[in-house]
Structure 1
Amino acid sequence: MHSPNKSPLASPTSSRSVTETVNGSHNFVIKGYSLAKGIGVGKHIASENFTVGGYQWAIYFYPDGKNPEDNSAYVSVFIALASEGTDVRALFELTLVDQSGDGKHKVHSHFDRSLESGPYTLKYRGSMWGYKRFFRRTSLETSVFLKDDCLKINCTVGVVVSGIDSSRLHSIHVPESDIGDHFGTLLENEEGSDVTFIVSGEKFCAHKLVLAARSPVFENDFVNMMEEDNDEILITEMEPRVFKALLHFIYRDTLPEDDEFLEASSSSVPSLSDSLPAKLLAAADKYDLPRLRLMCESVLCKDISVNSVSHILALADLYHAADLKSVCLKFTAENLVGDMGDILRL
């Protein structure tokens, strides 16, 4: 029995303080390195802002170094806090990508030293972390990191966040959806395929139900095929590489991960309409795939320049790419006011 002078003990409670990093990365491609040289010591080329942990960040590349007194013979690279914030604590990693394919990247990582020195604190907007002597300029220009006058820098930011968490003492992690991987395997293995496409002599096996579910044009084609005893379809006016990319999207809901999409701007202006993104945009229009159209528009949008805008605008108009057309017209208004009349007549 409890003593009449004492209350019973309350049930114990618990809580947990969790400090962790919210991680994100950004790839910054610098084309025309040789033209950037001579911009001046202390002047930089900035990436687009990207968001990690609720804050905006940017990569600053100094072709002629950040400070003349101690690093004018070096290129400098920094990560800057590009949004309002005070005492933002974070870990950083800067990687200069080896473009030879050997994977011998040049990595400067604060993550590796986190146990020794802790996260770096950025006091205010414009605060930076990085290296004044990131790479000696003469060595860089003869290295595997510079290819076709192009540098590639990858930046990873880990913003430190803390909080009391009593609900995650017992939690179950749910992984990202892998349905695209499963459907992709179905396409690669050709298991259960019931239709064959012939494109310039190459054969592609697929599944009517999958294609019909994704494209109303394919659905209509298969309804018409029900009256025929033929499971082969001849595709004309399309290259095999384009049709293969089309099937990749239909099954995986992603674009192919190859250089033709990651570096669409490698195409010269005259051959822009022959690039894979442009031809896949045409396929998206033909088979009524609005998400694929937007994906291709996004890739082509990154290639807009003074020299290419009229060609891209023509593609956007031809294949009903409304968002891409809008961006082209905005670029024209901002950069080519004198020539806008000629471009609008396309």
Structure 2
Amino acid sequence: MHCTVGVVRNRVEGPKHVTIAIPPSDMGQNLKFLLETETGCDILFRIGDETFKAHKLILAARSPVFRAQFFGLVGNPDMDEVKLEDIEPSIFKAMLSFIYSDTLPDTQQSTGSMSISTSTNIIQHLLAAADRFGLDRLKQLCEAKLCEEVNVDTVATTLSLADQHRCSQLKAICLKFASTNLGAVMQTEGFKYVEETCPLLLSELLETVASAAVDERSGEGGLTRKRSGSSIIGLDLAAAEVHMVVDDDPNVRRVRRRA
């Protein structure tokens, strides 16, 4: 007797590989829609002659300053109007746009055919506003943008701003750029402002000039020529047509152009 044994295998097919296209997040667009249409707004900001409506919960979620103002221990959740000073309406509007969309406003679009220096000026003011209201991401975005737009006309004011608002990377870039182009930078209105109001910052700029000179000489083989005058800073300042003036206060140094 012959027997035949057969084996039956069950085949289970898995799902075929299918790629589903996931659209990008539109949360920012939806939130901006609420802002633009003023849907559900419960707070009004008055800045000069202009007013802006917003949502306290959204502002509180994004800014620790607004959170403390509306819901902190000494905050007032029932307030319905806030008057702000020391900020331009256009800058506050741009800041609100970021709060709702989490993207840096297009300053080129908002300024139209205005010059790049005007665009830079907007970003400078926006950085100051971001620091004031605790918007760290906006502050970093502005810092990065200003690093890209450093030029002779704006570097001095940007340097002062970076020092005031503790933007270390932006400050370092401005110091390096200004020291490399010191002659041209000294002719700008921004340099005159720094010269009159930020003597310690100006000293840092001069130290950067001196350090760059030392590095350049070291790169040429480490050989230095003996010159009259013992200070490298004095030599570099002479080349830049400026000199140091020491006040009665040893901690304060001012820099003036040569007569």
Task: Describe how 1:133-172 pairs up with structure 2 within 5 A.
Answer: 169-172=17-20
Equivalent position SS for 1:250: helix
- 1:206 matches 2:71: no
SS in 1 for 2:141: helix
For 2:56 and 2:169, locate their aligned partners in 1 and report how far apart those are by CA, in whole Å: 31
Offset at residue 262 of structure 1 (A) = 9.2
Are residue 283 (structure 1) and residue 132 (structure 2) matched? Answer: no
After TM superposition, the runs of 4+ consecutive aligned structure 1 residues lying more than 6 A away are: 5-10, 261-265, 342-346
Structure 1's 221 and 284: CA in aligned 2 closer, same or farther, altered over 3 A?
same
Distance in 2 between residues matched to 1:253 and 1:299, nearest whole Å = 15
Give the CA deviation at 1:176. Answer: 1.4
Quick check: 2:108–2:119 contact (8 Å CA) kept in 1?
Answer: no
**Aligned counterpart for 1:308 among listed residues 149, 154, 159:** 154
Letter in 1 for 2:104: L
Judging changes above 3 Å, is the alpha-carbon distance between structure 1 residues 13 and 272 closer, same or farther for their aligned structure 2 residues?
closer
| 2:176–2:208 Cα contact (<8 Å) kept | no
CA contact (8 A) 1:304 1:328 kept: yes
What's 1:242 paired with?
91
In the alignment, structure 1 segments of 5+ residues that lack a partner are 15-166
CA–CA separation in structure 2 for the residues paired with 1:203 and 1:168: 56
Name the CA distance, whole Å, in 1 between partners of 2:16 and 2:170: 44
Give the conservation status (yes or no) of the 8 Å contact 1:196–1:206.
Answer: yes
Shift of 1:272: 7.6
Q: Which amino acid in the other structure matches residue 190 of structure 1?
A: E
Deviation at 1:332? 4.5
Q: Which residue of 1 aligns with 2:206?
A: 341
Name the TM-score, length of structure 1 as normaliser: 0.46
Q: Does 1:216 align with 2:81?
A: no
Q: Secondary structure at the match of 2:59?
A: helix
- Cα gap change, 1:327 to 1:261, in 2 (>3 Å): farther
Amino acid at match of 2:44: T
Q: How does 1:324-339 map to 2 (within 5 A)?
A: 324-332=170-178, 335-336=180-181
Cα deviation for residue 261 of structure 1 reads 7.4
Change beyond 3 A, Cα 1:202–1:261? closer
Within 2, Cα distance between the matches of 1:7 and 1:225? 78
Deviation, 1:248, is 0.3
* 1:197 maps to 2:56: no
- Kindly provide the CA deviation profile for residues 225-253 of structure 1, in whole angstroms up to 9, marking residues without a partner as x: 428x6411001111111110010000110
Tell me whether 1:226 sits opposite 2:76 in the alignment: yes
Paired-residue identity, %: 39
Unaligned runs of 5+ in 2: 187-204, 210-253
Q: Deviations for 1:99-150, whole angstroms, at most 9, x for unmatched residues?
A: xxxxxxxxxxxxxxxxxxxxxxxxxxxxxxxxxxxxxxxxxxxxxxxxxxxx
Give the distance between the partners of 1:226 and 1:294, measured in 2 at CA.
30
CA contact (8 A) 1:260 1:276 kept: no
Shift in Å, 1:331? 3.4
Q: Alignment partner of 2:40: what SS? A: coil
Task: Give the TM-score of the pair, scaled to structure 2.
Answer: 0.60
For the residue of structure 2 that corresponds to 1:173, the secondary structure is coil
Would you say how many aligned residue pairs link Structure 1 and Structure 2?
A: 187
Distance change (3 Å), C-alpha of 1:168 and 1:315 = farther
Q: 1:55-80: per-residue Cα shift (whole Å, max 9, x none)?
A: xxxxxxxxxxxxxxxxxxxxxxxxxx
How far residue 187 of structure 1 moved from its aligned partner, in angstroms, is: 0.9
Equivalent residue, structure 2, for 1:181: 29
Between the aligned partners of 1:196 and 1:5, the Cα distance in structure 2 is: 85
- Could you list the per-position Cα deviations for residues 195-254 of structure 1 after superposition, in whole angstroms to 9, with x for gaps in the alignment? 100011211111111111111111111134428x64110011111111100100001101
**1:255 is matched with which residue: 104, 112, 125?**
104
Q: Is the 8 A contact 1:264 1:300 kept in 2?
A: no
164, 168, 171: which one pairs with 1:322? 168
Do the aligned partners of residues 307 and 230 (structure 1) sit closer, same or farther apart at CA in structure 2, a change above 3 Å counting? closer
From the two aligned structures, give the one with the greater strand fraction: 1
Letter in structure 2 aligned against 1:314:
S
* CA drift at 1:263: 9.2
Higher helix proportion, which one?
2
CA deviations on 1:250-289 (whole Å, 9 max, x unpaired) are: 0110122341679999344xx687x211111110011011
Point out which structure has higher relative CO (alpha carbons under 8 A, 6+ apart). 1
Secondary structure, counterpart of 1:205 in structure 2? strand
AA at the equivalent of 2:84: I
